[in-house]
Structure 1
């Protein structure tokens, strides 16, 4: 217990240092070089070796050190994530990381349909390949205790809002049993089901389609906006 408290205190101190460091950069009080650039301290960046696969594994090992030993620790799971700028990269990292989790996996596929497409110009295989902003991917792969993030406002009064983070505790054919792990509704058990999801107004597709799927995705990796 003493060792665990020491680790948490070290994490808290590290988080405070990093937050202060970012504030100093944003406030213009951090020293810069002659070109106006800020040198990132060695202890907070991962060297790049030009081997994408190797570098990704190094990043995962650093951010999620001892993953299998800590996957049941809610604080461990919800206080770290790998951030990216693109949904396809996020999905790739999440799929790679869920394979590292212990235990059997459950896979859910979505159901895509176009709106007003009588000639079937956009077959389901094509729609399945799309991952617009705000929609879950075609394939969702989960394991027990994996972290997920909600993509829609379902029941804000009970904590089910866009961006709510949860942990999976059980699977059914059309429902997922999960627990809210952050905020004032933490520890509340909920059941999530598939719902029809539409594209946001920001997506510039020449057609409209609906995706029936669980309004969630893995949150081991997330987009910068979603974080």
Structure 2
């Protein structure tokens, strides 16, 4: 089972909590952070961007400065190491043994499931181009993966999913991505928190009309034969009802409704159509 959350802060909270529940001795791995050589030529940079400051920088594509691991904890690779062996960005692993410089892990996903691999410390560069300086981190390219962001889950089909929403989703299509990772309604559990901190049965959805209106016009133009040829690099986008998600989803309203399976071959989901006209089946 995997837990989805809208933001990285929520993911970290879930991962730390669930890791604390697993028995066993916890081992802390600290990263070694330093500026790149071309940045160290400036004395001003050396005084401002100290090692202590660099350790506080958190951005996409970098592991945590303080990586806490236990045996049997699931982790996820955040770098491509060996594509032939399936060790790619997003591969899920399980920690088997913890050394000082190398971790022994078992592959949990992909065609090499069950293989035992060794993950070393690596020198990692942040991919965020908005940072004022260039620096590098030496750390294991891993993050605990009890939970992951909704955006990271795109393209995956899972047997059981928990959706944790302490705050609403923030981008178009994000709620649809989370709900459609499983094949049936019974395989997903949702925890929603209201602004006051209590439990809730409804959440807000983000819908940009301009997105699906553009898709609709493109689809109509193709149907009318107005768009015959297009560049080879262009990806054809077809408008489904799943793009027309409601602005608010009330889960209590359909708790006892036979929703059937997610996806009927036409890109539709239980929340694809208007809330007052949801019907299931291939019709």
Shorter-chain TM band: 0.5 to 0.7
Structure with more contact order per residue of length (Cα contacts < 8 Å, sep ≥ 6): 1
Which segments of structure 1 move beyond 6 Å, counting only runs of 4 or more? none
Scaled by the length of structure 1, the TM-score of the pair is 0.62
Bigger CA radius of gyration: 2
Decide which of 83, 102, 110 is 2:4's aligned counterpart.
83
Structure 1 counterpart of 2:29: 108
Match of 2:119 in 1: 192
Q: Which residue of 2 aligns with 1:182?
A: 109
Contact residue 150 and residue 216 of structure 1 kept, 8 A: yes
Deviations 1:88-125 (A, max 9, x none): 33223212221111111111010111121342121122
1:112-131 equivalences in 2 (<5 Å): 112-115=33-36, 116-117=39-40, 118-119=42-43, 120=46, 121-131=48-58
Q: 2:140 aligns with which of 200, 209, 214?
A: 214
How far apart in 2 are the matches of 1:150 and 1:142?
Answer: 14
8 Å CA contact 1:132, 1:203 repeated in 2:
no
The answer as to 2:77 corresponding to 1:150 is yes
**8 Å Cα contact 1:133-1:203 kept in structure 2:** no
C-alpha RMSD over aligned residues: 1.3
TM (norm. structure 2) is: 0.50
Q: Secondary structure at the match of 2:97?
A: strand
Q: In structure 1, the residue corresponding to 2:34 is in which secondary structure?
A: strand
Q: 1:151 to 1:209 in 2, by over 3 A?
A: same
Query: What is the rounded CA distance, in whole Å, between the counterparts of 2:24 and 2:129 in structure 1?
Result: 37
Change (3 A) 1:102 1:188: same
Whole-Å separation in 2 of the counterparts to 1:204 and 1:183: 33
Mark the runs of 5 or more structure 2 residues left unpaired by the alignment.
Answer: 154-283
Structure 1: any 5+ residue segments left out of the alignment?
1-79
